[in-house]
């Protein structure tokens, strides 16, 4: 009986000392957490997509609280989240432009030719290492392997007739598809853009025409047609400067290859 009492007393005393030690340690080594950081984290969508450039939402919340990232740094949350975060941080909401991913290729399987039949792993990153950089005659075109599809956390991009197509309403502009495309065909452009050049070929006109029916041949008709100097041609490929574009559609109407598309 005495042994049992002694054991219970010993356990109790040890428990008290352990509790006291943990309590003191907790106070001494306590890490102060910025309440604003926690509030910002709760305001973020929680997708942890990395589109902001940080390691998930917690990383962005920490950076915002420290003043190292803008209050509108979350591309997924957009303006509504930016407004909440700006209120938490007590700063004026930063003006932001809603963006969407755009694939600069319109050469689907019906409009392009192939050098050979490919049978193997459907991954654009692997296809870029096969002969010719892929089966397509155009070395600049979408490979259709679907790496961007697998990378998108919002089901906003799919392969349609051999090329990637973006669903504007689902896209959150996280940029993951941009980073994974080995051809560099995907970019983020303003959501309300009117027209864009759906081609990335830098080959001369005759070469492009052999490979694709809708490839840009760098003829410059769009440049001469645009009344606002929003279109330029570099390396036989046209580019529309969205800040200057007034969405009149004149360039698209005059393009002989229909390489300029209405978004």
User: What number is the average pLDDT over the span 9-28?
Assistant: 63
Reported as a pLDDT band with limits 50, 70 and 90, residue 14 is low
Same-domain pairing of 42 and 65: yes
Q: Are residues 39 and 120 in the same domain?
A: no
Which residue in 241, 148, 142 sits closest to 190, CA to CA? 241
Predicted local distance difference test score (pLDDT) of residue 82: 87
Inter-residue contact 69 to 63 (CB < 8 Å): yes
- Residue 150 inside a domain? The answer is yes
CATH of the domain at 55: 1.10.15.40
Do residue 108 and residue 182 come from a single domain? yes
For residue 116, CA distances in Å to 104, 113, 131, 133, 163 come to: 23, 9, 10, 12, 17
Domain housing 108 = 97-192
Looking at the domain assignment, is residue 1 inside a domain? Answer: no
Spell out the SS3 assignment of 88-132.
HHCCCCCCCCCEEEEECCCCCCCCECECCCCCCCCCHHHHCCCHH
Report pLDDT for 27: 59
pLDDT band at 164 (very low <50, low <70, confident <90, very high): very high
More confident residue, 81 or 16: 81
Alpha-carbon span 245 to 223, nearest angstrom: 12
Q: Which pLDDT score, from 0 to 100, does residue 156 have? A: 96
Mean pLDDT of 73-83: 85
Count of domains observed in the chain = 3
| Dist. CA 156–CA 152, nearest whole Å | 7
What gap in Å lies between CA 223 and CA 254, rounded to an integer? 10
Interacting residues of 72 by C-beta distance below 8 A, sequence separation 6+: 79, 82, 85, 86, 93, 94, 95, 96
Residues 80-105: pLDDT tens digits? Answer: 888 888 888 888 766 667 889 999 99
Task: Report the alpha-carbon distance of residue 73 to residue 115 in Å, rounded.
Answer: 44
CA angle 63, 65, 66 (to 5 degrees): 65
Is residue 203 within 8 Å of residue 80, measured between CB atoms? no
Domain endpoint, select from 162, 192, 222: 192
The span from the CA of 215 to the CA of 104, in Å, is 10
pLDDT band at 70 (very low <50, low <70, confident <90, very high): confident
Give the domain-ending residue among 132, 160, 192. 192
Residue 238 inside a domain? The answer is yes
The whole-number average pLDDT for the span 164-172 is 94
> How many residues are recorded in the chain?
263
3-state secondary structure 202-256: CCCHHHHHHHECCCCCCCCHHHHHCCCCCEEEECCEEEECCCCCCCCCHHHHHCC
Is 204 inside any structural domain? yes
Q: Which of 73-82, 176-185, 189-198, 200-209 has the lowest mean pLDDT?
A: 73-82
Q: What percent of the chain has pLDDT over 70?
A: 86
Do residues 214 and 256 both lie within one domain?
yes
Domain boundary among 143, 160, 192: 192
Is residue 14 in a domain?
no
Same domain, 137 and 82: no
Which stretch of 17-26, 63-72, 102-111 has the lowest confidence by average pLDDT? 17-26
In a domain, 65, yes or no: yes
Which residue did the predictor score with more confidence, 106 or 80?
Answer: 106
d(CA 162, CA 153): 21
Among the ranges given (91-100, 105-114, 186-195, 233-242), the one the predictor scored with the smallest mean pLDDT? 91-100
Looking at residues 157-164, what average pLDDT do you find? 95
19 vs 149, which has greater pLDDT? 149
Can you give the pLDDT at residue 67? 85
């Amino acid at each position: 009986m005495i042994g049992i009492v002694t054991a219970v007393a010993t356990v109790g005393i040890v428990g008290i000392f352990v509790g006291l030690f943990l309590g003191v340690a907790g106070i001494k080594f306590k890490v102060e957490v910025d309440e604003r950081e926690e509030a910002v984290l709760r305001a973020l969508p929680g997708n942890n997509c990395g589109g902001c450039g940080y390691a998930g939402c917690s990383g962005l919340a920490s950076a915002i609280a420290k003043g190292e990232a803008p209050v509108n740094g979350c591309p997924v949350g957009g303006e509504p989240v930016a407004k909440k975060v700006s209120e938490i941080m007590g700063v004026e909401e930063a003006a932001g432009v809603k963006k969407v991913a755009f694939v600069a290729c319109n050469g689907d399987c019906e409009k392009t030719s192939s050098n050979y039949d490919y049978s193997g792993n459907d991954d654009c990153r692997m296809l870029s290492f096969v002969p010719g950089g892929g089966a397509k005659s155009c070395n600049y075109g979408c490979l259709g392997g679907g790496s961007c599809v697998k990378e998108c956390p919002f089901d906003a991009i799919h392969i349609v007739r051999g090329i990637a197509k973006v669903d504007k309403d689902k896209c959150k502009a996280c940029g993951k598809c941009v980073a994974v495309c080995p051809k560099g065909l995907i970019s983020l452009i303003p959501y309300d853009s009117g027209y864009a050049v759906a081609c990335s070929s830098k080959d001369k006109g005759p070469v492009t025409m052999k490979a694709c029916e809708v490839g840009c041949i760098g003829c410059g008709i769009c440049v001469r047609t645009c009344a606002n100097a929003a279109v330029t041609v570099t390396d036989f490929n046209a580019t529309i400067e969205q800040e200057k574009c007034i969405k009149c559609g004149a360039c698209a109407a005059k393009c002989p290859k229909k390489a300029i598309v209405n978004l």
